[in-house]
Amino acid sequence: MEKMKRSLSGIKPTGNLTLGNYIGALRNFKNYQDEYENFVFIADLHALTLPIDPAFLRQNTKDIVAFYLASGLDKDKTTIFLQSDVSAHSELNSILINYLYMGELSRMTQFKDKSAKMNHEAVGVGLFAYPVLMTADILLYNADVVPVGEDQTQHVELARDLVHRFNARYNKEVFVMPKAVTPKVGARIMSLSDPTKKMSKSDPKGDIFLKDEPNIIRKKIMSAVTDTGNEIIYDPVNKPGISNLLQIYSALSDITLDEAQSRFHDIHQYGEFKKIIADKVLEEIVPFQERFKEFSNPKIINEVLNQGKERASRVASRTLNKVKKTVGLYVHE
């Protein structure tokens, strides 16, 4: 029998999840739980790469577990776990950090964007080495596919470079080559108040949070920045605001941008257009929020994480041992 392919992804608990996280990543994870061995985790160690309040981090972590369950992930089909619960992530990180280069890490867009806002002398080593840990996350599970939003594809490319380098150096296929998979529409949802910037949970600009009350969500959509004119067309350069709303509609309706655009052919008022977008978002998010509330229960969360920890640790320690042996670390019984 052919070996089942593996999928792995994660979200870091740095803040309240946005509609961007939902469309670009979260809602796609469940697509892999029937035909793939699916691993979905909370990248809590990654959340430490910038200063964060401990209580906030803990709350975000619990929320993400409930969000995962609310999105349709089933704990018996998907291994849902906490990165810090599986020590192999940190151990493989300590090994792989020697196989990636300062030059390539300093070219990472996420690092450049985040460190640009800081005093150069005080940029944390963890922020710089972020993609090394992410590479360890992916390679430990021999993931074939990594479903992510567009901003993470560069990190997955780096993981691919490392696989080439590592396998060539030891002349054997130690690691499986991973591939980033982004959604056809909605891989980069923009801010509603500034559609030239990415919607982001740690740098919110009037963005939609998955925990927002429905009336707030509607208000935010109705006051989204739009463009001059009155035509509803997809033109991200000249009409970034309208194009972003079309992306949201198209992704949530599972239709192409062309189809979405043609549905609005006869609408020439942005207010009317925005109302339809708001209805679409609420139609999806309101039931999702209800499920989220049901799953936000410490008993359920602990049970999911305990089961996930056990399954993930088993898979990860196998890979870690293989790597240790490959590089010459002495593995004994």
Are 89 and 140 in contact by the 8 Å Cβ rule? The answer is yes
**If binding is defined by CB under 6 A, does position 152 make contact with ligand LTN?**
yes
Q: How far is the CB of 202 from ligand LTN (least distance, A)?
A: 10
Which one of 64-72, 148-156, 276-284, 306-314 is the stretch in contact with ligand LTN (CB under 6 A)?
148-156
Distance separating alpha carbons of residues 64 and 191, to the nearest angstrom:
21
Closest Cα to residue 73, out of 11, 119, 161, 133? 11
Q: How far is the CB of 24 from ligand ATP (least distance, A)?
A: 2
Residue 24's binding partner among ligand LTN, ligand ATP, none (Cβ under 5 to 8 angstroms by kind) is: ligand ATP
The tokens describing 180, both together, are: 């980033």
Q: How far is the CB of 55 from ligand LTN (least distance, A)?
A: 21
CB 239: neighbour CB atoms within 10 A? 20
**If binding is defined by CB under 6 A, does position 188 make contact with ligand ATP?**
yes
Contact residue for ligand ATP among 5, 30, 105, 151 (CB under 6 A)? 151
Half-sphere exposure of 108 (CA within 13 A, CB side): 26
**If binding is defined by CB under 6 A, does position 10 make contact with ligand LTN?**
yes
**Minimal CB distance residue for ligand LTN:** 43
Residue 134's binding partner among ligand LTN, ligand ATP, none (Cβ under 5 to 8 angstroms by kind) is: ligand LTN
Instruction: Name the strands in the sheet holding 6-11, side by side, starting at the edge strand that comes first in the sequence.
Output: 78-82, 37-42, 6-11, 145-147, 179-181
Residues annotated as catalytic (active site), given as ranges? 114, 198, 201
**If binding is defined by CB under 6 A, does position 148 make contact with ligand LTN?**
yes
**If binding is defined by CB under 6 A, does position 202 make contact with ligand ATP?**
yes
Closest Cα to residue 304, out of 85, 89, 92, 134? 85
**If binding is defined by CB under 6 A, does position 138 make contact with ligand ATP?**
no
**If binding is defined by CB under 6 A, does position 17 make contact with ligand LTN?**
no
**If binding is defined by CB under 6 A, does position 13 make contact with ligand LTN?**
no
Q: How far is the CB of 56 from ligand ATP (least distance, A)?
A: 12
Residues 78-137 that bind ligand LTN (CB under 6 A): 134, 137
3-state SS, one letter per residue, for 285-314: HHHHHHHHHHHCCHHHHHHHHHHHHHHHHH
Nearer to ligand LTN, 163 or 221 (CB): 163
Q: How far is the CB of 27 from ligand ATP (least distance, A)?
A: 10
Distance separating alpha carbons of residues 116 and 331, to the nearest angstrom:
42
Distance separating alpha carbons of residues 96 and 133, to the nearest angstrom:
8
Distance separating alpha carbons of residues 323 and 314, to the nearest angstrom:
15
Are 170 and 163 in contact by the 8 Å Cβ rule? The answer is no
Contact residue for ligand ATP among 7, 21, 93, 250 (CB under 6 A)? 21
Distance separating alpha carbons of residues 83 and 80, to the nearest angstrom:
10
Instruction: State the residues that interact with ligand LTN by CB under 6 A.
Output: 8-12, 43, 46, 134, 137-138, 146, 148, 152, 155
Instruction: State the residues that interact with ligand ATP by CB under 6 A.
Output: 11-12, 14-15, 18, 20-21, 23-25, 148-149, 151-152, 187-189, 198-203
